[in-house]
Structure 1
Amino acid sequence: MKEPWRMGRGVWAMVVAVTMFMRGVRGGVSDYQPGWSFNGAEHDALCDVFQASLDLWNASRKSNLKLGGGLENALGQAIFGSTSGGNIEGLKDTLPQEYKNPERRQYRCGSCNHHKETYPGKSIPHDLMCLCTPGKYGEPFYGYWFFQLVFEDTGFKLCGKERKDMVNNHHDGWYEDEKKREARGLEKPWKTVVMGCVNSWKKNGGAVNQTLEEKLKTLIEAMTNFGTELFKDGNRWDKLGGMKEHHTESDGRDEKSIHVRYRLCQKKKKPWWRKLQEVLGKPQIQLLVDPSAVTHAKEPGQDLEEGEEILEEPGERNMDSGGGTSSQAGSSTQGGSDGNATQTQGFNNGSNSTVGMTNTSASENSTSTRFGMLRSGTPITPPTSRFLSAVFFI
C-alpha cells in the first residue's frame, strides 16, 4: 500500500514543480492584468508634445510673427534632433538609417556618456523609439514556456499599440542581454508610433483656428503634462517609462527594461525637453517676435546658443554633484500679443529638485546686456546718471 502512495505524492510534487517552473519562465505574464498597456500614459504625453511642436513649427513658417528667444532652435532639436531644424515633409514612414543598425540599446536609450550621435533626449522621435520598441523575444507581446521553446501572445500593449502593429513575431525586438544583442523589426514601431503621431497630426490638420500665441500656450500645457510623467530612478537620473520600483538598465531585456533614462545627459547632450523647458520660461514677447526683430537678433542668437553652454556650467555642476539632472522647471511667463505679460505655472513633474527657467548666474552678469535680456525676463538696470556725467566731464 505504500508504493502507490509514494507514486501519488511524487506526481503531485512534479505537478507543483512544473507549475512553478512554467510561471517562472513565462516572462512574468501572470504579474499583469489582461490587456495591460506598458508606457501608455508616457507615450500619450510625449505624442501630445510632438504634435504641439509640429503645429507651432509649421504655423510659424506662414505667420507674420516668428520664433525667437531660442524657441526655433529648441523646437528644431525636439522635432528633428538638430537645432538647425529641418523639413516636416522629411519625416517619412521609411525607417531612418540610424535605426537600421542602432547598436546597443542600453546606451542609445539609457546614457549619454559616449561619443555616438544618437543618445537619450536627442529628439522626440528617438525617445519614442526607446519608449515603444519591443524588447527581447518581442516583449511585452509574447510570453514563453520551457526555455523559450513555446511562445504565446500575451494580449498586452506597448505604448497603447497592439502586437500586430508592432512586431512580426517573437524574433523581433531591440535588446541586449549580457553578450547577446539584437535589433530586428524596428520598421514597425517607427511607422506605428513615431509616424503614427505625425500622421495623426497631419490628418487632423493641427489646430487650424488657433493663433500663434494660442499654439504656444498649447505647447506649454503639453510640456507641463509631459513633466508629470518624468520621475527619478534609484540613482536620481531622470527617467521616462518603465517601472518606478525597478531600477533597470534601458536595454530591453524584459518588459521592465523598456524605457528612457537620461543618465549624464548634460551640456551638448542636454535633452530636448530640458532645452524646451528653459526656453518656454521666457516671456512670450521674446518667443514670438516680428521678422525685423528676428533679423536684427540673428547673429546674437548664434552667440547665445554657444554661450548657453558656458552660462549654465554652474547649474550643470550642481546637477552633477546631486547625482542627476532635474525634471522640473520654475514658473513661466505667458503674455498676450499686446505684450502684457502674466505669470503662469511652470513645469512640475513632482520631483524634489527644480530647474529655474528664468534664473541667472554670476557668469551671466559678466556677459553683455543683450544676452541678459534674451535669457531673462528681468529688466536690466542701466548705468547710473552720475557715472555717465563723469564720462562727459572727462
Structure 2
Amino acid sequence: MMTMKLWMVVMVMVVGVGAFEGNRDYNVKEYEALCAVLKAAVSAFQSNRGSEGLKQALHRTIFGNKTGGNLQTLRSTFPTDYEGHEIHDTPRSLWCGDPPEGGYNEESQVRTSGHSAPHGLLCLCTTGKGGWPLSRDPGTTLCGKDKSALGGASEGWVRLTDWSDDVKGKEQREATWDNVTRPCLHEDGRKGENLNDAFKKFKVALVRKLDDDSENKYTETMGPKFANMYINRYQLGNGNPSKERACDGTPELGICLLYYDNMYPLPWWKDLEDALNEEEREKRRQEEIRKQESQSKQQPHSSELPHAEPLKSSLTTTHDTKQKNQESDTAQFSIINMKSGTSITTPLRLLSAAFLI
C-alpha cells in the first residue's frame, strides 16, 4: 500500500512538471479576452452609444475613472503613474494582486488591479523577475509576444527583495504599453455592437479563487475585519497567490491579476457588468412596450366595429301587413289541395244544393 501511494505521488509530480514545462505561451488567452473587451469598449465609447450608466462604465474601463479622458493622449503617451516614485517604492503585487487601499497591508496604492483594462494589460503582459517567463526558454511568449517586443528577457517588473525600494522594469513596462496595450486601445470597427459578447468571453477567462476553508484560514491569519476581503477573488493569468501576496512577478506568485469584487473601489469590470445588465433589462422593457403597442394597433377600435340594423317591432300591424298575411294563407291552402289531388268543386256544389232545399 505504501509503495502504491509513493508511486501515485511521483506520477502527480511528473504530470505537474510536464504540464508546467509545456506551457510556453503564457497568458495568451487571457490577453486576447482582455484586449477584445477593451477594443469593444473603445468602439462603444467613440460611437457615444448607451445610457449614462454605460458611458460611465466605459470611462472606467478605458480611463480608470467615471468622467473619462482623452483617448488620443492615452494612446500616444505612457502614463506618468508608471514612472513616478510610487511605482519605484511599492511592489508589483500592490498594483496587480493585492486588495485595494485599506486592505490587510494598508499600503498606499496609485492604481489597484481593478483600475482599468489598460492597466490590467500592463500587469498581465509585463515580464517579471529576471525576465520571467521569457527567460526560461527561447521559444516562450508572454501574451503572444516574444522578448524582442517586451523589452528583453534579462529583467522585468519586480521588487528584488521585500525590504528593497528598488523596483525594476521601467523599460519592460514601456515596451508592454507600446506593443500590447496601445494596439488594444483602437476600436474594432463594430461600434460596440459586440461589447456584450466580448465581455462574456472575458468573464469566462476569470478564475474564481475560493476554497472550502478560506474564510476560517483568512480569519485566523488576519482577523475577522479583513477576512471578507480575501474570500471572493478572481484571477486572470498564471500564478499561485498566497494569503499575503499575489501576482508579484515571481515564478511562484506569477504574472497575473487578482480582482476583489467585494471591496471598494470595485474592479472596472464589475461596473461594466452592471451597466450591461441594466442595458439588457431596459432593452427588454422597450421590446415589451413595442409589442403591446403593436397588438393594440392590430385590434379594431369601437368606432370601427360594424353596426347591426335596428330591429322593427313585430307588434306593429298595418293594413298592408294583414292583406299580405291573407294572401299568404290562401296560397298555402291552394298548394295543399293541389298536392292532395282532391277537387274542390264537388263540395261546393253540394253546399249550394243544401241551401236550395
Query: What TM-score do you get using the length of structure 1 for normalisation?
Result: 0.55
Q: Is the aligned partner of 1:270 residue 2:270?
A: no
Partner of 2:162: 178
CA contact under 8 A between 1:94 and 1:187: conserved in structure 2?
no
The gaps in structure 2 that reach 5 residues or longer are 1-16, 215-230, 290-357
Structure 2 counterparts to residues 1-394 of structure 1, below 5 A: 31-33=20-22, 36-60=24-48, 66-101=49-84, 102=87, 103-110=90-97, 111-112=99-100, 113=103, 114-143=107-136, 153-180=137-164, 181-184=166-169, 185=171, 186-198=173-185, 201=186, 206-207=189-190, 215-216=192-193, 218-234=194-210, 235=214, 236=231, 237-243=233-239, 249-254=246-251, 256-263=253-260, 266-267=263-264, 269-284=265-280, 286=282, 334-335=283-284, 339-340=286-287
Give the counterpart letter for 1:340 in structure 2: E
CA contact under 8 A between 1:79 and 1:124: conserved in structure 2?
yes
Q: Report the Cα distance in structure 2 between the residues aligned to 1:252 and 1:79, rounded to whole angstroms.
A: 24
CA contact under 8 A between 1:40 and 1:159: conserved in structure 2?
yes
Please give the per-residue CA displacement for 1:71-92, whole angstroms capped at 9, x wherever unaligned: 1111101100110011211213
CA contact under 8 A between 1:175 and 1:253: conserved in structure 2?
no
Give the counterpart letter for 2:57 in structure 1: A
Give the counterpart letter for 1:239 in structure 2: Q
CA contact under 8 A between 2:81 and 2:110: conserved in structure 1?
no
Q: Report the Cα distance in structure 2 between the residues aligned to 1:107 and 1:255, rounded to whole angstroms.
A: 16
Please give the per-residue CA displacement for 1:255-302, whole angstroms capped at 9, x wherever unaligned: 7511111247623x100001111111114585xxxxxxxxxxxxxxxx
Please give the per-residue CA displacement for 1:84-135, whole angstroms capped at 9, x wherever unaligned: 0112112134321111142321111112134423111110011111111110
Give the counterpart letter for 2:32 in structure 1: D
Question: Residue 178 of structure 1: CA displacement?
Answer: 2.7
Question: Residue 196 of structure 1: CA displacement?
Answer: 2.2
CA contact under 8 A between 1:95 and 1:190: conserved in structure 2?
yes
CA contact under 8 A between 1:77 and 1:122: conserved in structure 2?
yes
CA contact under 8 A between 2:241 and 2:253: conserved in structure 1?
no
Q: What percentage of residue pairs aligned between the two structures are identical?
A: 27
Query: What TM-score do you get using the length of structure 2 for normalisation?
Result: 0.60
Q: Report the Cα distance in structure 1 between the residues aligned to 2:246 and 2:200, rounded to whole angstroms.
A: 26
Give the counterpart letter for 1:46 in structure 2: L
Question: Residue 182 of structure 1: CA displacement?
Answer: 2.2
The gaps in structure 1 that reach 5 residues or longer are 1-27, 61-65, 144-152, 287-333, 343-394
Q: Secondary structure at the match of 2:114?
A: coil
Q: Which structure: larger Rg?
A: 2
**Given the superposition, is the C-alpha separation of residues 196 and 174 from structure 1 closer, same or farther in structure 2, using an over 3 Å criterion?**
farther
Bigger drift between 126-135 and 103-112 goes to: 103-112
| Residues matched between the structures, number | 239
Partner of 1:297: none
**Given the superposition, is the C-alpha separation of residues 156 and 256 from structure 1 closer, same or farther in structure 2, using an over 3 Å criterion?**
farther
Give the counterpart letter for 2:271 in structure 1: K
**Given the superposition, is the C-alpha separation of residues 138 and 29 from structure 1 closer, same or farther in structure 2, using an over 3 Å criterion?**
farther
Give the counterpart letter for 1:254 in structure 2: P
Give the counterpart letter for 1:67 in structure 2: G
**Structure with the largest fraction of strand:** 1
**Given the superposition, is the C-alpha separation of residues 246 and 194 from structure 1 closer, same or farther in structure 2, using an over 3 Å criterion?**
same
Give the counterpart letter for 1:156 in structure 2: T
Q: Secondary structure at the match of 1:239?
A: strand
Q: Report the Cα distance in structure 1 between the residues aligned to 2:151 and 2:19, rounded to whole angstroms.
A: 21
**Given the superposition, is the C-alpha separation of residues 280 and 83 from structure 1 closer, same or farther in structure 2, using an over 3 Å criterion?**
same
Q: Report the Cα distance in structure 1 between the residues aligned to 2:276 and 2:154, rounded to whole angstroms.
A: 42
Give the counterpart letter for 1:251 in structure 2: D
Q: Report the Cα distance in structure 1 between the residues aligned to 2:160 and 2:195, rounded to whole angstroms.
A: 35
